[in-house]
Amino acid sequence: MDTSNSPRTTSETTPLVSAGTSKKPKTPLPKLQIGILMTLRLVEPIASMSIFPYINQLIRELGITGGDDAAVGYYAGIIESLFFVAQTLTVLRWSRLSDRIGRKPVLLVGLSGTCMSMLCFGLSTTFWGLVVSRCMCGVLNGNVSVLKTMLGELTDSTNMAQGFALLPIMWCIGGFIGPLIGGMLARPQDNWPKLFAHPFWSKYPYFLPCAVSACMFVLGFLVVLFFLEETLSTKRRPKLTTTTLGISNGANSDNREDLSQTSMRSLLTPTIVIPIANYAMLALLDIALMAILPLFLSTPTYLGGLGFTPSHIGLWMGIYAMANGIFQALFFAKIVDWVGPKRFFCGAVSCFTPIMLMFPIMSWLVHARGMVDHATTFTLISLLALTSMWDMAYGTVFMFIRASAPTKNVLGAVNGLGQTSASMARVVGPAFATSLFAFSKEHNVLNGNAVYVVFIVLAGVLRWLGSQLPDEMQDRDE
């Protein structure tokens, strides 16, 4: 996507998007290295999103709910939150470690850990087996933060919007592939009984989607091992550090080493905290939405859901993710350059309230008509379209976090703080959302719609936080 007409200057008081000012020459993105990072960003959501179409059915089959369909949300929320609990405890340490030993070794460990955890998840036949595998995935994976750090080191103020626009695009593509894998490959012995007749598939009916996801991490590991170049200035080859990252002498290297050891307390300034707070609240609401949506789709119609099967859920979520990725690829950078990052972010997060309103509307339509018909389908499509606008807030908030770092040498620490805060929010989000959903339905609070009212209020809090973001982005190319 061409953003060469976007004004960029080195002044710290000049807006990222302005008119009639002098321009810096646009720096070309390093295509191979960016491509590798985007490949890694692609496989992450494949693993995380592939469990959503079948997780509720898996919980039912484990028999821990005692046949109470309304209680499935409690246990599904716990499983979905465990990864973020473990990640919260470790992601900052992985980010700080990447500031010392380099980005590439941390990425390799993360890919290996996620691969093993997915295989363990597929082989789990008890609730505690699922718990251990999800915790393993979170503890051994700090890749999301490191990927953002590397992207920040590979971009500057002239191509930052173009580079960070790729993150949510790849997430959307992975979000398209993941639910399809989970929905279509779950319980293969039912769909292809001749091909999967071995008793193994009856004992481990959800191993196949997990194994396919694990294979993608093996591919990612090999690509990183042989083709990815280190971006940490103190760990790169001398010929690259002097030209690409601007290290001119030993004193500068020592200074960068000192900066990488900067205490966390010294980074807790309003300039850094405000973008991170927005990211945390955005993550909370987004993961809650991603937990509520498949739960709502799988909930029986008599409880106010749509009663979809796992394959049907996977198809709908896959179509949404594909459309979302195309929309962001075509419009994200152009809209940011047109309206400015702050106004764009505030507009995107304002979509969450109408998104929440779509759920009770669909419940009412199903109750009134007695079935899922064209009106319900149109409302569901409208919900997914609004969610595409909502998801575009991610690329913008990543830009604010990158611009808040005082130097590139503490990008790992700043991204680690951001990812820790987001992971904490994602710990709360699924369990809170699905439990509130179950409570609303079981006790018929506000006719079963209390969960949506609560999240509309939280959306107002995020809109206020967005108004506190700086009107201008500062260049951090030095």
Q: Show me where the domains of the chain are located.
A: 31-467
Q: For the chain, how long is the longest CA-to-CA vector?
A: 74
Residue 249 pLDDT level (bands cut at 50, 70, 90): very low
pLDDT at 244 over 60: no
pLDDT computed for residue 255 by the predictor = 44
pLDDT computed for residue 253 by the predictor = 43
- Select, from the ranges 103-107, 156-160, 254-258, 364-368, the one with the highest average predicted confidence (pLDDT): 103-107
- % of the chain residues with pLDDT over 90: 11
| For range 118-141, the mean pLDDT | 87
pLDDT at 2 over 50: no
The domain made up of 31-467 has a fold known as Growth Hormone; Chain: A; (1.20.1250)
Cα–Cα distance for residue pair 83/142, rounded to 1 Å:
11
pLDDT computed for residue 24 by the predictor = 64
pLDDT at 95 over 70: yes
Beta strands in 145-267 (DSSP E): none
| For range 55-73, the mean pLDDT | 75
φ, ψ of residue 97 in degrees (nearest 5): -65, -35
Pick from 52, 46, 64: nearest CA to 297: 52
pLDDT computed for residue 250 by the predictor = 42
Cα–Cα distance for residue pair 185/318, rounded to 1 Å:
14
Please give the residue that has the higher pLDDT: either 19 or 190.
Answer: 190
pLDDT computed for residue 57 by the predictor = 83
Pick from 417, 382, 435: nearest CA to 70: 435
Please give the residue that has the higher pLDDT: either 120 or 424.
Answer: 120
Please give the residue that has the higher pLDDT: either 441 or 114.
Answer: 114
pLDDT at 263 over 80: no
If you average pLDDT over every residue of the chain, what do you get? 78
Token pair recorded at residue 230: 């280190």
| For range 409-413, the mean pLDDT | 71
213 Cβ neighbours under 8 A, 6+ residues apart: 43, 46, 47, 50, 118, 178, 181
Question: What is the SS3 assignment for 126?
Answer: coil
pLDDT computed for residue 460 by the predictor = 92
Please give the residue that has the higher pLDDT: either 232 or 344.
Answer: 344
DSSP 162-197: HHHHHHHHHHHHHHHHHHHHHHHHSSHHHHSTTTT-
pLDDT at 217 over 70: yes
Residue 258 pLDDT level (bands cut at 50, 70, 90): very low
CA angle, 401 then 404 then 405, to 5°: 100
Token pair recorded at residue 391: 């998801």
pLDDT at 268 over 90: no
The model carries a pTM of 0.67
Cα–Cα distance for residue pair 195/150, rounded to 1 Å:
43
| Helix, strand, coil content of the chain in percent (nearest 5) | 75, 0, 25
- Select, from the ranges 148-157, 276-285, 469-478, the one with the highest average predicted confidence (pLDDT): 276-285
pLDDT at 300 over 90: no
Residue 222 pLDDT level (bands cut at 50, 70, 90): very high
